[in-house]
Amino acid sequence: MYVWVAPRPPFGYAETNARRIKEKILQTNEMTAFLIRINRETGKRGAEKDWALDASCQIEGQRNWSINNLRADLRSLLEEMGNTIAPVGDATDEGALRWMKAAGIAIDEEHYRKVANAKDIDRRTYTSRQHQDYLKPEEVLECEKFRIQDTYGMSVTPELVEQDDGGRLIKKIIALEAILAAPGEMVTDEEGREFVAPPAVVVERDKSERERLAICTDWSNHSTAWLMRHRLGLRAVLMDLMSGVEIKGDEAMIQALAEFSKRNASHVKGILNLTIPLDESPVWILGQYLAQLGLSTESRRPLEDGKRVRYYRLNTEDVEFAQKVLEYRQRQREEKERKRQESLERDAAYAARMQAQYGINSPSTPPINEDGSNNRGGMDTDWHHRGRVAGLYRYNPAPSEPDLRLATHPAQASHKLQIVPECIC
């Protein structure tokens, strides 16, 4: 087997000199658990616990030395196993570079084909496999095929697997769905400032993510990304482009979008993770936003008044594919809502039957208190049952009453029982 390796690590070898590591830490001011100290006379930086910083730098140097040697150890091990090492660096061997590129393409095509030809599974199997620590290679392919088919509502082909790009495409289409949805009503805060509420589909996505990941606090905040695109005026531009309108790049909406992007480049970078150069054209900036939504543009240059004028429009294949996926997602939401309504109707019918037959209301979940609990001061029946089964009761008969421990069931002599919570561990 041939193994292509670079002559050196992509970012160079790690520093092993403890003194240089210490100088770099002090210069960049990236210190943890050390208090910075600056010499008033020389202005040289140091640390209050200099011995601890020296020890940390020595440990870091030994760790980097070990990591640097791992590369040579792995290379010698591969050679001992009979493999051929082919060093490939920057323009060192053009033939090897072409082989590596061709090998990567062949491996990707084989993966796409295997996913498309994998066996079909149902949702229950897919869900159960998500909780398993290890899956066989064929099971991974089956789960990938089910995810793609359930996400796009189409038959899985190698082209669709390649287009999906490991789930990145559906994230872009979901962002497109959010910006195309009608915004909510204006909301006014306590200081009188007005904000546009995001669409219901964005609100539900944020809400479901917080309910599903209750412990996590690093949520995606899709509403923030939607608000940034809304303030950019991207929805109005997309509505025109989706309807087939062509643009030249000198329209007022495009110019305003580019100016707003350059003026708030830092916020665009922080929220949408998109770098906006100040010297780029408005059409280029618009293309970057469209790429985040799974869309691309195509152009034509007709002759007008003796000059070539370039017109841009959305790629028709991208628009048709996105519309199919959006329609499928809309049908999924309608089907989910229909099932929810049917469940409510069944519950209401069951409650009516209980009321008509027995004159009682059907059991329901108690309302939630403000602190998040539903305890209304009653006894924890589950704990009470466990304590009775385990014999965690102390019987205290009155002086004039006989001992009923052998004759009376605990439920019948509950007024003489005292629960002993300290017995439960």
Does residue 332 form part of some domain?
Answer: no
Considering the domain architecture, whether residues 264 and 184 belong to the same structural domain is answered as yes
Write down the residue that tokens 């917080």 correspond to.
210
Cα–Cα distance for residue pair 390/28, rounded to 1 Å: 63
Helix (H) or strand (E) holding 84: strand 84-87
Does residue 43 form part of some domain?
Answer: yes
Supply the pLDDT for residue 290.
95
CB atoms within 10 A of CB 420: 12
Considering the domain architecture, whether residues 76 and 179 belong to the same structural domain is answered as no
Four-point Cα dihedral 399, 405, 407, 412, nearest 10: 90
- Whether residue 46 contacts residue 31, with contact meaning beta carbons closer than 8 Å, is answered with no
Q: Does 413 score more than 60 pLDDT?
A: no
User: 174-214: per-residue pLDDT in tens?
Assistant: 999 999 999 988 888 888 888 888 999 999 988 888 888 87
* Pairing label, strands 84-87, 2-5: parallel
User: 66-106: per-residue pLDDT in tens?
Assistant: 888 887 888 888 888 888 777 665 555 677 778 878 988 99
Judged by DSSP in three states, 299 sits in strand
Record the tokens describing residue 187, joined without a space.
């909301």
Q: Among the three residues 62, 92, 122, which one is the final residue of a domain in this structure?
A: 92
Considering the domain architecture, whether residues 100 and 121 belong to the same structural domain is answered as yes
- Whether residue 331 contacts residue 319, with contact meaning beta carbons closer than 8 Å, is answered with no
Residues 6+ apart with CB under 8 A from 301: 308, 309, 310, 311
Cα–Cα distance for residue pair 240/289, rounded to 1 Å: 15
Supply the pLDDT for residue 217.
66
Does residue 7 form part of some domain?
Answer: yes
- Whether residue 61 contacts residue 16, with contact meaning beta carbons closer than 8 Å, is answered with yes
DSSP 406: T
Q: Among the three residues 54, 70, 92, which one is the final residue of a domain in this structure?
A: 92
CB atoms within 10 A of CB 349: 10
Does residue 353 form part of some domain?
Answer: no
Considering the domain architecture, whether residues 301 and 406 belong to the same structural domain is answered as no
Helix (H) or strand (E) holding 393: strand 393-395
Record the tokens describing residue 284, joined without a space.
């280029």
Does residue 210 form part of some domain?
Answer: yes
Record the tokens describing residue 191, joined without a space.
């200081």
Supply the pLDDT for residue 392.
39
Considering the domain architecture, whether residues 196 and 145 belong to the same structural domain is answered as no
DSSP 189: -
Considering the domain architecture, whether residues 109 and 86 belong to the same structural domain is answered as no
Supply the pLDDT for residue 2.
63
Supply the pLDDT for residue 148.
95
Considering the domain architecture, whether residues 189 and 307 belong to the same structural domain is answered as yes
For 249, 266, 284, 300, the CA distances from 281, given in Å and listed in that order, are: 8, 18, 5, 18
Domain that holds residue 157: 96-166
Considering the domain architecture, whether residues 179 and 197 belong to the same structural domain is answered as yes
Considering the domain architecture, whether residues 261 and 304 belong to the same structural domain is answered as yes
Does residue 133 form part of some domain?
Answer: yes
Does residue 82 form part of some domain?
Answer: yes
Considering the domain architecture, whether residues 194 and 272 belong to the same structural domain is answered as yes
Confidence at 387, pLDDT banded by 50, 70, 90: very low
Supply the pLDDT for residue 1.
64
For 188, 267, 346, the CA distances from 220, given in Å and listed in that order, are: 24, 16, 36
For 57, 162, 296, 416, the CA distances from 176, given in Å and listed in that order, are: 48, 20, 12, 67
Find the mean pLDDT for residues 332-336.
92
Helix (H) or strand (E) holding 19: helix 18-28
Q: Among the three residues 124, 150, 166, which one is the final residue of a domain in this structure?
A: 166
CB atoms within 10 A of CB 399: 4
Considering the domain architecture, whether residues 112 and 11 belong to the same structural domain is answered as no
Does residue 364 form part of some domain?
Answer: no
Query: What's the whole-number average pLDDT of the chain?
Result: 80
Record the tokens describing residue 75, joined without a space.
């290379």
Facing residues of 85 across strands? 3
- Whether residue 194 contacts residue 173, with contact meaning beta carbons closer than 8 Å, is answered with no
- Structurally, the chain folds into a number of domains equal to 4
Weakest-pLDDT range from 104-118, 335-349, 371-385: 371-385
Name the nearest CA neighbour of 295 among 251, 237, 256, 225: 237
Considering the domain architecture, whether residues 192 and 257 belong to the same structural domain is answered as yes
